[in-house]
Amino acid sequence: MAKNRENPLGKAIRSEHFLDDSSSVGGQVKGMGEVIKKQGEVFGRPPNMNFRIETFSRICLTFDDRRTRWDNEMGLGGLLTVPTDIHLPRQLGYWLMTRIDPLNKVFIAPDGKQFRLSANQVHWVLGIPNGGLTVPTGKSKFSLMHEKVIRIQEKYGVPTRTRSKKDSGVVYTSIGIPVNGKMMERVEGKWEAHEEEEFKTLFLFLSLEMVLCPTQSPRLACDLLHALTCAMNDGSYNWCELVLKKLMESVGSFARRFYSTGVAGGCGGCTIFAVVFYLDRLNWFPVQWGEFPRIKVWDMNKLSIAFKQDRIASGGDYGKLGSLDVAYGEIHPKEARDSDGPSSMTKGVAHQFVGQPLENGHNPNKRRGAPKCSFPHQVKMP
């Protein structure tokens, strides 16, 4: 059961909103199974889930041996295994955001089962590093790191002007780094050995903005600029914890809108983690269970089959199949549990199944084949 604890995301949402459908407008929409229907009626378009994993996968296809080696050195080689035809099923992603309690990091399935979310699960799904160092954010105050951030902003940043809503006439200017065609073309282009740091920085940027920590805009979150300074020592940092943290922040913002009005425009964060995590726990036969990272086994064909089977008829929500309590790294409850064979079956030993001894070349009981009580006899192979 999810415990009630102090809400760090604001006073608008409480733990009971995720457990008691009668406690909020959004909860009532969930209880009726009309989350997707309501979103479509209000907005008239699919949810805004700015998650461009299909574009990211296409970029990775252009990598030569040098860039692939650099990615593996960063510990991000698992992202290169993403199926090239995959794209985020937006309605499923939107619905899953209504099933997550960001206060306690818990996924609550429609059948009532609750699953704790952890950085280890992010590692299993995405295959990214979960090292011992905390990824630096905008609150970091190291001067050397700050100098690197300034250089990155000067090279790739684009100034953005926003007008204050409170003080009329006041305009603020900020420098953000958007994902644009020029940057993607550069990553897809030719790279020399001495350009290693620049490539790793750009690839880390694309990984964060397009897959790991996307926002609802095409720009990297400002507090993640400091994270780009870790590109040359990427594997030493706990990116899994960062991904989970940013996803919970995004779900928290989503929840404040959804539970107060019953609808939200969309959500940021690593939605594909939630999708794979959920599909791996459906109450049906596992898909290549034990393969790592999990994201590589869910191509678009398998995704389509899974969420079509799980969706309630007539345009309803998901949850038809129910869920299973499974853990990565353990045997799936729907897998065959037979071992490789009896301990007596050692290498170099053949097994013959024989029945009752024959008398004068025939069996007096005229049985065909071995009796049910027969056991294998070991015969040394020549």
Neighbouring C-alpha atoms within 13 Å toward the C-beta of 263? 15
> Do 272 and 373 have their domain in common?
no
Number of domains comprising the chain: 2
| Rg (alpha carbons) of the chain, rounded to whole number | 27
Query: Does residue 148 lie within any of the structural domains?
Result: no
Which residues pair with residue 114 across a beta bridge?
108
Query: Do 227 and 83 belong to one domain?
Result: yes
pLDDT of 140 reads: 56
Q: Exposed (0-12), middle (13-18) or buried (19+): which is 292, by Cβ within 10 Å?
A: middle
Q: What is the pLDDT of residues 101-130, one digit of tens each?
A: 999 999 999 999 999 999 999 999 999 999
Decide: 117 and 107 in contact? Cβ < 8 Å.
yes
Q: How far is it, in rounded angstroms, from Cα 153 to Cα 111?
A: 47
Q: Are residues 272 and 382 in the same domain?
A: no
Domain assignment present for residue 46? The answer is yes
| pLDDT digit string, tens, across residues 224-253 | 988 999 999 999 999 999 999 999 999 999
112 with 210, same domain: the answer is yes
- 350 lies in which domain range? 342-382
> What local confidence, expressed as pLDDT, does residue 274 receive?
96
Q: Looking at the domain assignment, is residue 172 inside a domain?
A: no
> Are residues 103 and 237 part of one domain?
yes
Query: What sign does the dihedral 95-97-100-105 (CA atoms) show?
Result: positive
Q: Bridge-partner residues for 362, per DSSP?
A: 359
The position carrying tokens 């943290």 is 245
pLDDT per residue as tens, the chain (382 positions): 444 444 444 456 888 999 999 999 999 999 999 999 999 999 999 898 877 888 999 999 999 999 999 999 999 999 999 998 888 889 999 999 999 999 999 999 999 999 999 999 999 999 999 999 999 987 655 555 677 778 887 888 777 666 666 666 676 666 678 888 888 999 999 999 999 999 999 999 999 999 999 988 888 888 898 899 999 999 999 999 999 999 999 999 999 999 999 999 999 999 999 999 999 999 999 999 999 999 999 999 999 999 999 999 988 999 999 999 999 999 999 988 776 766 655 555 544 444 444 444 454 454 444 444 433 444 444 4
Look at residue 174 and tell me if it is in a domain.
Answer: no
Residue 5 lies in a domain: no
89 and 130 in a single domain? The answer is yes
- In this structure, the answer to whether residues 285 and 373 fall within a common structural domain is no
- Predicted TM-score (pTM) of the model is 0.83
Phi and psi dihedrals of 126, rounded to 5? -105, -20
Same domain, 293 and 206: yes
Choosing from 292, 310, 328, the residue where a domain stops is 310
Place of tokens 């090239």: 84
Residue 54 and residue 87 in contact, taking contact as beta carbons nearer than 8 Å: yes
Q: Helix or strand or coil: residue 89? A: coil
- Co-location of 280 and 354 in the same domain: no
Query: Alpha-carbon distance 121 to 240, whole Å?
Result: 8
Give the C-alpha distances (Å, rounded to integers) separating 116 from 85, 124, 298, 312: 30, 14, 22, 25
| Residue 107 host element (H or E) | strand 106-108
Residue 72 lies in a domain: yes
What's the DSSP call for residue 208?
Answer: I
Residues 241 and 381 in one domain: no
Cα angle at 147 between 142 and 149, to 5 degrees?
95
**Of the residues 266, 295, 310, the one at which a domain ends:** 310
**Domain presence at residue 2:** no
Q: How far apart are CA 295 and CA 301, in angstroms?
A: 13
* Final residue belonging to a domain, choices 256, 289, 310: 310
Residues 210 and 277 in one domain: yes
User: Among the residues of the chain, which ranges form H helices?
Assistant: 15-19, 25-31, 35-43, 53-60, 65-74, 90-97, 119-126, 143-156, 181-188, 196-207, 239-261, 271-279, 300-310
Tell me the per-residue pLDDT of 57-106, one tens digit each, with 9 for 90 and over.
999 999 999 999 999 999 999 999 999 888 888 999 999 999 999 999 99
Phi, psi of 300 (to 5 degrees): -65, -35
Closest Cα partner for 133 from 230, 221, 210? Answer: 230
CA angle 209, 211, 215 (to 5 degrees): 45
242 lies in the same domain as 105: yes
Residue 379 maps to a domain: yes
pLDDT at res. 168 = 64
